[in-house]
Chain A
Amino acid sequence: MAPRTMFQKIWDAHVVRQEPGQPATLYVDLHLVHEVTSPQAFDGLRLNNRKVRRTDLTIAVADHNVPTDDRSGGNVVLEDAVSAAQLDALARNTAEFDIEYYDMYSPNQGIVHVIAPEQGRTQPGMIVVCGDSHTSTHGAFGAIAMPIGTSQVEHVLATQCLSQSPLKTMEIRVEGALPTGVSAKDLILGVIARIGVDGAQGYAVEYTGEAIRSLSMEGRMTLCNMSIEAGARVGMVAPDETTFAYLKGRPHAPQGDEWDAAVERWRQLPSDPDAEYDSVLIIDAAEMAPYVTWGTNPGMAVPVTDAVPSPSDFAEQQDRDAASRALEYMGLEARTPITGIALDRVFIGSCTNSRLEDLRAAAAVAKGRRVHPDVYAMVVPGSTQTKLLAEAEGLDAVFREAGFDWREAGCSMCLGMNPDVLQPGERCASTSNRNFEGRQGKGGRTHLVSPAMAAAAAVAGRFVDVREWE
């Protein structure tokens, strides 16, 4: 057989039907559902008298809208009527269609892309889908994980299949080792700054190379998570010992003999040595630095040691226009050093950077220091399990003592659908994935950074190069 990439292997193993000129019908192993993109899908099923085909391969969780202040009383009243309606709808729909559901009080609750890996549900070789852009996160395990729209949510619920045209493959090979103080978040921001927000459009990206192999699963998830911001539909990393060690013993991972058999299968997944990608990009890890975005898309990023660019730096007129618009929205002057930008808010959270390792990185910086008096800083763990683990090792105390607000799990200010939002004009260092206009609240100004950079910014009240603190 001709050499195949990991993407092709997984794809081939899931084709239910393929007709020339039409999208392939692919079988889905895991379907993740949340409150925002599912109500209309369930409505559609009901209208057409359709059932959920595989309730055993579907789970639902409340994450996008849930309030993140104390929920321990179990009696949260949502101020926002529509958030409440969406959460009610999910509870009703999952009961009616017999789907396992984690509501906001469940110990298994959390951001959908955090809980599935954490429970061992996301596994190598799978096709995973979810009605959320950052589904690419799960590709960190060597899976094809794709975001789908609500019509496709309905499609997968009804058929357990996805209708999908093939994607081209791109290898992003990161050679060498990342310098100290440079995280997976910085790497992906650096990649997007280089290739642009549509640089990987239409591709499934596979990350390879020494720097990727040495990343933890958390780091790989951060990387795959933001692949979508480079336009890719899929980001993936081949499974290896790091992957197996992470999965072993998790509640939904295979157990006993099944575990050994599974690992044997998973070892076959990595791309064959002479498999060809449609496109290859080689990056030298040593060139990477902590990145900060200055504009209104994730590609508008520079190393922390640089300054905000001027529109005149861009060759194309439309990019110059976009830069002027971004500077105006962001309230920034060209040539301002990044370290000269003062902040009002800091948000540590989101499916990009809210796992235990991220919280540890931020806590290591925060420890023994104080949040700047002009800054309100919040830490929102990615899941209730993550929160409990962090508390067990005392991270909550570190954050609280430093003046951070330690909150309950959810998407929170990543997209500001719950009460956690920026006020117009407020400037925020955020570990999330999107700095679009108004993403964190109308008129809010978002700068994307790593967890360590965010914690350091909270302390200094402006951006600082975290490498100087280590």
Chain B
Amino acid sequence: MEAFNKITSAVAALDRVNVDTDQIIPAQYLKLITKTGFGPYLFDSWRYGPDRAPKPDFELNRPGYENARILVSGRNFGSGSSREHAVWALVDYGFRVVIAPKFADIFHKNCFENGLVPVIVSDDVLEQIMIRAKEQPGWALTVDLEAERLDDGAGFSAPFVVHEDPETHAFRRYTLLNGLDEIGLTLRHEADIARFEAARSR
């Protein structure tokens, strides 16, 4: 997993609540057997018309958002299914950060497993980001995980967390900063697992 420290990028605004995983990556595209290659199908039914021409009125197709690596959206982002393909699709498309006031539970966890940084901000901060990203397409923001701050270098600055629970936040920040995947973390404790198994079979 790629370690994350900070990025500066344009912010694409998707001003909707409850964006669900079936919209992020519709089920007909879950069939690839690799972890890459899902980006072209991200938000597929919103993004393309019947002839697969990009729909001009869909947010991500707006000029100024082409190279955005940061997505901002409304509450309960990623609701619906446990399909990790949703995270892979966002990552494969080029996003490294999603900003929202609240993430759906499983999606939230899947972010950490794949190095997609879920940035949680207050409703108030969200609104400020949303307005700027909508009104000035191409508006760039720096997401600094080490410093736990957002900054546009032009007067806007706000703190963030990657999890509402402070301890979980600290732990996840550490694994994101170090690009640690969870299997590696767990396998450091093989002896504990073996002991547990032995105690059970007695």
Query: What residues make up the interface of A, taking CB atoms closer than 8 Å to B?
Result: 16-17, 20-23, 25, 27, 36-37, 39-40, 43-44, 48, 50, 53, 65, 80, 82-83, 85-86, 89, 131-133, 147-152, 154-155, 158-161, 163, 165, 197-198, 201-202, 231, 233, 297, 318, 322, 415-417, 434, 436-439, 442
The complex places the Cα of A132 from the Cα of B74 at a distance, in Å, of 25
B28 adjacent to A25 (CB under 8 Å): no
B105 adjacent to A161 (CB under 8 Å): no
What residues of B have a CB within 8 angstroms of the CB of A89 in the complex?
A: 33
- Which one of B104, B109, B185 has the highest number of Cβ atoms from chain A below 10 Å of its Cβ? B109
The complex places the Cα of A304 from the Cα of B44 at a distance, in Å, of 33
Q: Which of B60-68, B134-142, B147-155, B187-195 contacts A (4 or more CB under 8 A)?
A: B187-195
Nearest CB of chain B from residue A315's CB, rounded to whole Å = 14
Residue interface mask B79-117, A partner, CB < 8 A = 1? 111111101000000000000001011100110011000
**Which one of B26, B110, B114 lies within 8 Å of A438 (CB-CB)?**
B26
A-B contact pairs, 7 of them (CB 8 A): A25-B186, A40-B84, A80-B31, A131-B82, A198-B104, A201-B104, A417-B30
Closest B residue to A416 using CB positions: B27
Q: A151-B114, A437-B22 known; A40 and B105 CB under 8 Å?
A: no
B27 adjacent to A25 (CB under 8 Å): no
Which residues in window 1-34 of B have CB below 8 A to A? 17-18, 20, 22-23, 26-28, 30-34
Q: A233-B106, A318-B17, A322-B17 known; A149 and B113 CB under 8 Å?
A: yes
How many A-B Cβ pairs are below 8 Å? 152
Query: What residues make up the interface of B, taking CB atoms closer than 8 Å to A?
Result: 17-18, 20, 22-23, 26-28, 30-35, 45, 74, 76, 79-85, 87, 102, 104-106, 109-110, 113-114, 165, 167-168, 170-171, 181-183, 185-187, 189, 192-193, 196-197, 200
A437 adjacent to B23 (CB under 8 Å): yes
**Which one of A86, A152, A318, A437 lies within 8 Å of B113 (CB-CB)?**
A152
B33 adjacent to A43 (CB under 8 Å): yes
B83 adjacent to A25 (CB under 8 Å): no
- Nearest first, the 5 closest Cβ-Cβ pairs linking A and B are A82-B31, A151-B113, A39-B33, A149-B84, A21-B167
What residues of A have a CB within 8 angstroms of the CB of B84 in the complex?
A: 37, 40, 149-151
B171 adjacent to A22 (CB under 8 Å): yes
**Which one of B26, B34, B79 lies within 8 Å of A40 (CB-CB)?**
B34
B17 adjacent to A202 (CB under 8 Å): no
The complex places the Cα of A436 from the Cα of B20 at a distance, in Å, of 8
Q: A147-B106, A159-B187, A434-B80 known; A27 and B35 CB under 8 Å?
A: no
Q: A86-B33, A198-B76, A437-B22 known; A133 and B189 CB under 8 Å?
A: no
What residues of B have a CB within 8 angstroms of the CB of A83 in the complex?
A: 31
A151 adjacent to B33 (CB under 8 Å): no
B28 adjacent to A50 (CB under 8 Å): no
**Which one of B28, B34, B182 lies within 8 Å of A416 (CB-CB)?**
B28
The complex places the Cα of A89 from the Cα of B186 at a distance, in Å, of 26
What residues of B have a CB within 8 angstroms of the CB of A80 in the complex?
A: 31
Nearest CB of chain B from residue A61's CB, rounded to whole Å = 17
Nearest CB of chain B from residue A29's CB, rounded to whole Å = 9
A442 adjacent to B45 (CB under 8 Å): yes
The complex places the Cα of A270 from the Cα of B104 at a distance, in Å, of 29
A434 adjacent to B22 (CB under 8 Å): yes
Closest B residue to A21 using CB positions: B167
- Which one of B28, B104, B165, B170 has the highest number of Cβ atoms from chain A below 10 Å of its Cβ? B28
Closest B residue to A85 using CB positions: B33
**Which one of B80, B85, B87, B113 lies within 8 Å of A133 (CB-CB)?**
B80
Nearest CB of chain A from residue B20's CB, rounded to whole Å = 6
What residues of A have a CB within 8 angstroms of the CB of B183 in the complex?
A: 44, 48, 50, 154-155, 158-159
A297 adjacent to B20 (CB under 8 Å): yes
The complex places the Cα of A361 from the Cα of B80 at a distance, in Å, of 28
Q: A40-B33, A151-B182, A231-B104 known; A439 and B76 CB under 8 Å?
A: no
A438 adjacent to B22 (CB under 8 Å): yes
B28 adjacent to A442 (CB under 8 Å): yes
A37 adjacent to B83 (CB under 8 Å): yes
What residues of B have a CB within 8 angstroms of the CB of A25 in the complex?
A: 186, 189, 192-193
A158 adjacent to B113 (CB under 8 Å): no
**Assuming A147-B82, A163-B182, what are 8 further A-B pairs, CB within 8 angstroms?**
A17-B192, A22-B167, A40-B35, A151-B110, A151-B113, A151-B181, A159-B186, A231-B79
B31 adjacent to A202 (CB under 8 Å): no
Closest A residue to B23 using CB positions: A437
What residues of A have a CB within 8 angstroms of the CB of B34 in the complex?
A: 39-40, 43
B105 adjacent to A16 (CB under 8 Å): no
A439 adjacent to B22 (CB under 8 Å): yes
What residues of A have a CB within 8 angstroms of the CB of B32 in the complex?
A: 82
The complex places the Cα of A268 from the Cα of B198 at a distance, in Å, of 23
Q: A20-B167, A83-B31 known; A163 and B192 CB under 8 Å?
A: no
Closest B residue to A29 using CB positions: B200
What residues of B have a CB within 8 angstroms of the CB of A132 in the complex?
A: 82
The complex places the Cα of A57 from the Cα of B51 at a distance, in Å, of 47
A165 adjacent to B80 (CB under 8 Å): no
